[in-house]
Structure 1
Amino acid sequence: MSKITSEDLSNAIETLDPNNLEVIGDDTEVFKGSELDSAADETPALGGDDFMHTDDFRRLFVDFVMVDTLVSMRWLDRKWHKVVEEKLIELEDEPFGEIIVHGGNDISVSEAYAREERMKQVTKVVFLLNITKVGDHACSWASNLVVVDIPEGITSIGIGSFAGCSSLKETTFPKSLTSIGNHSFEGCLNLEQVDLLHTNIQQLGRQAFRDCKSLREMKIPDSLQTFGTDVFANCSKLVPSNIGTTSEVVAYLRSIQ
């Protein structure tokens, strides 16, 4: 997938100028064989450098995480807005299947709880290009997610990004990673190993791996100097119960790797 250029964006705006859509009625279905349908397939979507064009509009609409980016697209306050609204209603009850992580998808705690049941259907995470952060609560409660491969270029994993992903068993981290936020992997009950040796990690947030009860191996590099409180609380297979303070935990982990 190639990167969108400024020329591409300029062409997209010109092609999809809302002022030139007078032939499109409010009830027109633009995604099925119309000229606008073809333009949509061939034109990069707008909404930020991180928002890359995809032909899979169905996936894009089902993933409600993308709504904030879609609404920022320049033409949606006119005739496209109704089209998007109708598509969202049409696909409202369809399963997520996969979640799309993009550059602006911080989710509040209340929003994360509100979509908890739908997130149980997620089995795959798709990372869009040119993003540097996994948003806060972006993938929380995806309890059927088993494997996550976080791509190079990601520097931070947000608050609660993978919290409650109880089936998560394998996660790979990029060299570019510098921080893991508070509660990021809390409650990942099946996560057994975490290898950060090849990363540039500098900070582990508060309770980042709390209640990871299967975690038995944690490899940390010398670059990691900042540890939040209770990072490994209730990780009895990793840290013996008689080791309590943060400094003791860190010293113990460094001694056994």
Structure 2
Amino acid sequence: MKQVTNIVFLLNITKVGYCACLRASILVAVDIPEGITIIGKDSFGCCISLKSITFPKSLTYIGEYSFGYCSSLEEVDLLHTHVRELGTWAFAGCTSLREMKIPDSLQKFGGSVFTNCSKLFPSTIDIDDEIDEDDVTSEAIAYLRSRQ
């Protein structure tokens, strides 16, 4: 995977599978085509050069660690999607992430979804708290929506 620079998706697929592009360290941009509803666990984890992701309207779920530790990722725009849930650690370790646009359809974050995303949340929001996940989810979603 270290040599992967470009991704081409086959027609008629609905899911980006487990570890599909894990550790593709020189991958810079990904255009996920319409029809994909799920981005599976670890799909793009540790893609340290990834700066741009285009998501399809059809997207409903982003799995665990899907974009974890994509340290060059600065912005994520999900506004036009139908995402309902972000899995545990989905964007954890995205240390450059400063903007996250979320749709009204988003209802739930998994635990630690934004751990080590200090440019995204103010220190007053404890995004690492897994004790009461519902409170973390509602507070974080309210904060992100207030910035859109």
2:27 to 145, 164, 167: 145
SS at match of 2:143: helix
Q: CA deviation at 1:248?
A: 2.0
Query: Which letter maps to 2:95?
Result: K
TM-score by length of 1: 0.53
Whole-Å separation in 2 of the counterparts to 1:225 and 1:214: 24
Give 2:106's aligned residue: 224
Q: Percent identity?
A: 68
Q: Which runs of 5+ in 1 are unaligned?
A: 1-118
Give per-residue Cα distances to partners, 1:143-171, cap 9 Å, x unaligned. 00000000000000000100000000000
RMSD, matched Cα: 0.8
1:226 to partner: Cα distance: 1.6
User: Scaled by the length of structure 2, what TM-score is found?
Assistant: 0.91
* Count of residues in Structure 1 that have an aligned counterpart in Structure 2: 139
Q: Distance in 2 between matches of 1:221 and 1:250?
A: 10
> Alpha-carbon deviation of 1:256?
1.1
SS at match of 1:218: strand
| 8 Å Cα contact 1:230/1:246 also seen in 2 | no
Letter in structure 2 aligned against 1:256: R
**Relative contact order (alpha carbons < 8 A, sep ≥ 6): 1 or 2 greater?**
2
Q: Which residue of 2 aligns with 1:248?
A: 139
Matching residue of 1:211: 93
SS in 1 for 2:142: helix
How far 1:246 moved relative to its partner?
Answer: 3.3
Q: Which residue of 1 aligns with 2:44?
A: 162
Offset from partner CA, 1:51-105 (integer Å, 9 cap, x none):
xxxxxxxxxxxxxxxxxxxxxxxxxxxxxxxxxxxxxxxxxxxxxxxxxxxxxxx
**Higher helix share goes to which structure?**
1
Deviation digits for residues 87-146 of structure 1 (CA, Å, limit 9, x no counterpart): xxxxxxxxxxxxxxxxxxxxxxxxxxxxxxxx1111011100100000011100000000
